[in-house]
Amino acid sequence: MVRTILMKYGELILKGANKRSFEALLCNRIKARMRRLLGEDGFEFECMQSTLYVTPKDDSMVEEAYDDLKKIFGIVSLCISYRAEKNIDDIVKVATKHIPNHIKSHRSFKVDARRSDKTFPLTSPEIMSIVGGELSEVCPDVKVDVRQPDIVVRVEIREKYAYIHAGAEHGAGGMPYLSNGRGLLLLSGGIDSPVAGYMMAKRGVEIDAIHFESFPYTSERAKEKVIALAKCLTKYTDKVRIHFISLTEIQEAIRDNCEEDYFTLILRRFMMPIAERVARRYGAEALITGESIGQVASQTMSALAVTDCTVNIPVFRPCIGMDKEEIVEVARKIDTFETSILPYEDCCTVFTPRHPRTKPILEKVEKAERGLDREALIERALATETELIVER
């Protein structure tokens, strides 16, 4: 028995003259993942007609390889298939030996056949009829239903072999990672920001992260929590570089010199330009945040405008139109939710105003922060930067 993982990509097909470069990037990421898992010579890999093939040489590793490949952006569907020689006798032999395990728990099935190799002597309907009839003999309790089957058995006649499988799954989708520049994620430790990072990575954006800490008001456990969240993202990105910067002095200065109602807004107006300087230093072209419009006082349209005007770099907010339940659903999917709700405070919960402004006016915010030496505070905060690279 030889099992091959078949993978197909979606929107890459629409890239026209650029398709090959995107395809090459996707292929390189797949091969790098498989080398790490299976070794340099532990698998066969091919890419033909918008289909990618991975065949682990050790069949016991197929399921583990499959789980790893499900987390590669750019793949829209994948399945574990059984490989057969390109003759109907071997196709029937392989199908009747292995496919019953997949269909016997269902009430109905049908066979679908596709011939990429049009030189194959039988037509698709003939293949469907022969294989379906043989499977019906082996599984008499499972009915054939060509209109609404519980499961579809597919026979694909490809360039070198025939492949038989039952039940393809959705892949991670999106665009190949590293295909759309680099962004700096403001990773707070909450539910939203890891989701934002995942969503931008899914569009091919390389993710670095920045985390603002406020020791001694925030603990070492809060920092460990952020590292754990970054570790979850590495299932998709392989690694994440985190920049840690202390905001303690800035927050104390805001507390001592500004009106309480403006604390959070002014803090955000420091965080954004600090993040921009780190982003530019490391080649990131945009900032990424987990903000959702109206979710909290600092995320109203007016508040976002007041903070965005402090930077000259795009700010991407992929969660902006999502409600909390939608964000939580993605967080559960990428395994960040349980870590995000651990009760370790981040810097945004330090000196939180009792009545934050929801419709701030820029001129009034600027007036409220006049007692601060912005540039000196920013420079001293940047001097506290430490870096950690988190890998899978």
Torsion sign, CA atoms 304, 290, 369, 279: negative
Four-CA torsion 346, 355, 377, 291, nearest 10 degrees: 50
Q: Which of 107, 105, 114 is nearest to 81 (CA)?
A: 114
Q: Count the helix, strand and coil residues of the chain and give each as a percent rounded to the nearest 5.
A: 45, 20, 35
Contact call for residues 6 and 51 (beta carbons, < 8 A): yes
Contacts of 333 (CB under 8 A, 6+ apart): none
Give the span between the Cα atoms of 370 and 130, in whole angstroms: 81
% of the chain with per-residue pLDDT over 90: 78
Q: Which of 50, 48, 49, 65 is nearest to 4 (CA)?
A: 65
β partners of residue 152 = 110
For the stretch 40-47, contacts whose Cβ atoms lie closer than 8 Å and that sit 24 or more positions apart, written own/partner, are 47/23
The Cβ of residue 376 has, within 10 Å, a number of other Cβ atoms equal to: 11
Give the span between the Cα atoms of 290 and 301, in whole angstroms: 14
Give the span between the Cα atoms of 82 and 93, in whole angstroms: 11
Q: What confidence tens digit (pLDDT) does each residue in 210-231 have?
A: 999 988 888 888 899 999 999 9
Residue for token pair 């056949």: 113
Give the span between the Cα atoms of 222 and 188, in whole angstroms: 9
What is residue 60's DSSP assignment?
G
Domain 3-170 identical in fold to domain 182-391:
no
Q: Give the pair of three-digit tokens for residue 1.
A: 């028995």
Give the span between the Cα atoms of 264 and 254, in whole angstroms: 9
Contacts of 108 (CB under 8 A, 6+ apart): 142, 143, 144, 145, 148, 149, 150, 151
Give the span between the Cα atoms of 372 and 265, in whole angstroms: 14
> What pLDDT, on a 0 to 100 scale, did the predictor assign at position 156?
95
pLDDT of residue 349 exceeding 70, the answer is no
Reply yes or no: is the peptide bond before residue 216 cis, omega within 30 of 0. yes
Q: What confidence tens digit (pLDDT) does each residue in 167-198 have?
A: 889 999 999 999 999 999 999 989 999 999 99
- Give first-to-last CA distance, the chain, whole Å: 31
Torsion sign, CA atoms 215, 220, 224, 225: negative
pTM over 0.85: yes
Say yes or no: domain 3-170 is CATH 3.30.2130.30: yes
Average pLDDT rounded to a whole number, residues 108-127? 94
Give the span between the Cα atoms of 3 and 43, in whole angstroms: 11
Homologous superfamily, domain 182-391:
HUPs (3.40.50.620)
Q: Which of 342, 318, 312 is nearest to 330 (CA)?
A: 318
Q: What confidence tens digit (pLDDT) does each residue in 71-98 have?
A: 999 999 999 999 999 999 999 999 999 9
Give the span between the Cα atoms of 292 and 122, in whole angstroms: 55
Q: Given the DSSP bridges, would you call strands 169-170 and 386-391 parallel, antiparallel or unpaired?
A: unpaired
Give the span between the Cα atoms of 251 and 270, in whole angstroms: 10
Band the pLDDT of 262: cuts 50, 70, 90: confident
> What pLDDT, on a 0 to 100 scale, did the predictor assign at position 294?
82
> What pLDDT, on a 0 to 100 scale, did the predictor assign at position 351?
64
Contact call for residues 181 and 139 (beta carbons, < 8 A): no
Q: Where are the domains of the chain?
A: 3-170, 182-391
Band the pLDDT of 19: cuts 50, 70, 90: confident
List phi, psi (to 5°) of 182: -125, 140
- Longest CA–CA span in the chain (Å) reads 85
